[in-house]
Structure 1
């Protein structure tokens, strides 16, 4: 039944693309004004863009976006590491607050920073897969290309930690039919989020912290990044505030979604 639903969504994906260009072709053939062609092509393509980029829609892939709990437990997650400068400082801050987190690592960064990966594991954090390259065009990869990205990252992480990651987070939070087919083969559990910090685009740490505090509730999974200097003042303000609100920090491994 699950595979059948995925096939239906894949069919919808390609049908919408076909319909968009088919309608545009008819308008072009009938010599309609350019804006009619645009009107014909935009709605299905806009829908597809939103469906692909909104991981919370679970359109192509069923992902976990929160922890199944009524207790004041939350999961801090960090994407794009390990970074040679900022990740160790993030680990120091987490250690000072006795907080556990989940790190979704890029394979090429793992390869370049094995000792940081080892430290992440040794300090009790959860490690997930975040692709090998995280390239700007990664969302256009075929199923075979995605499997190569995921398995290469698994290999680098397992070589250091002795364990194959169970979790995967898509770069940019974008999902496609090809990625869905790859995940079905690799068997990873996909982890999303329900609190997006926008820490890489918002320059003011205080605004990031305020947004997070406003949106966080029991069971929230928070999306952060440990590849930029702004993460340090953000965590310095955020961690004490979350503690003051009596939140405890767990990893995505404790999601209790079985």
Structure 2
């Protein structure tokens, strides 16, 4: 879902999606039915359970826009460009090597950093920005139960990362990526209040669980085209038989193919905000 929306950076009004509005209507209808005829409770309960199942399924689909706006590709104005996004860092071993690789290709990338890791390695985060890349919000602690938290806890987690990354870089993140891409209906209202936009990806290489760099590159290049948003990792990186992070070799292959096709690399900020 990449329709025209307010630019990231400013708080905006939350507008429920049809799925969320429909689920609310089911709940209201169930309550009304029970008030009129308590004997309808099996049907009312079934409708509520089904609506919760639909919401849960939407939250388990990282590229879904059923719970709110989600950047899965760059806007048409990006033209012949792609976005490389790099998650779960900074990592003291992998991130500097990834920065060197990007420099070698004259490429720019968007790093979705974890706040706690940024606190541990602030010089690396500073280097990311100094070398022309963007730093965005990937939560403060990257907890695996993030998608199970309520709006208050979710806001505190995201806002803590906002503060951490802004203090280190001097720049306020404009985009958020949920840990593992998983979320719930509370996320979009929180992002609206913080002036953040959700960004997922067009495709990913599963480079945290695959030790074959060629296979990771193949996944990233399957259907490769202008306006793609690709996902690799500097944190939690899987390694090949020689101990090398597979993301490095895979990203090298992708960047060579991008150059061959005449595709430029841009940060999400450049492509979406301008």
Match of 1:235 among 251, 260, 270: 251
Deviation of the 1:13 alpha carbon: 6.9
Write the mapping of 1:23-172 to structure 2, written as runs, cut at 5 A.
Answer: 26=42, 46-69=53-76, 71-172=79-180
Name the CA distance, whole Å, in 2 between partners of 1:239 and 1:8: 38
Distance 1:26 1:182, change over 3 A: same
Distance 1:99 1:193, change over 3 A: same
Length-normalised TM-score, structure 1:
0.83
Ranges in structure 1 where 5+ consecutive residues have no aligned partner: 20-24, 28-38
Contact 2:59–2:185 under 8 Å retained in 1: no
Q: Does 1:219 align with 2:230?
A: no
Structure number with the higher helix fraction is: 1
Deviation of the 1:256 alpha carbon: 4.0
Cα-Cα RMSD = 2.9
Name the CA distance, whole Å, in 2 between partners of 1:10 and 1:98: 45
Report what 1:173 is aligned to.
Answer: 181
SS at 2:16 equivalent: helix
Q: Does 1:244 align with 2:255?
A: no
Contact 1:195–1:215 under 8 Å retained in 2: no
Write the mapping of 1:175-190 to structure 2, written as runs, cut at 5 A.
Answer: 175-190=183-198
Question: Between Structure 1 and Structure 2, how many residues are aligned?
Answer: 243
Deviation of the 1:44 alpha carbon: 5.3
Contact 2:55–2:185 under 8 Å retained in 1: no
Report what 2:35 is aligned to.
Answer: none
Length-normalised TM-score, structure 2:
0.79
Report what 1:32 is aligned to.
Answer: none
Name the CA distance, whole Å, in 1 between partners of 2:153 and 2:17: 19
Ranges in structure 2 where 5+ consecutive residues have no aligned partner: 1-12, 31-40, 238-244
Name the CA distance, whole Å, in 2 between partners of 1:232 and 1:164: 28
Q: Does 1:5 align with 2:31?
A: no
Distance 1:112 1:211, change over 3 A: same
Deviation of the 1:67 alpha carbon: 1.4
Distance 1:56 1:236, change over 3 A: closer
| Post-superposition CA distance 1:186-238 (Å, at most 9, x none) | 11122121122222222211011122122211111111111212212212332
Contact 1:13–1:48 under 8 Å retained in 2: no
Report what 1:199 is aligned to.
Answer: 207
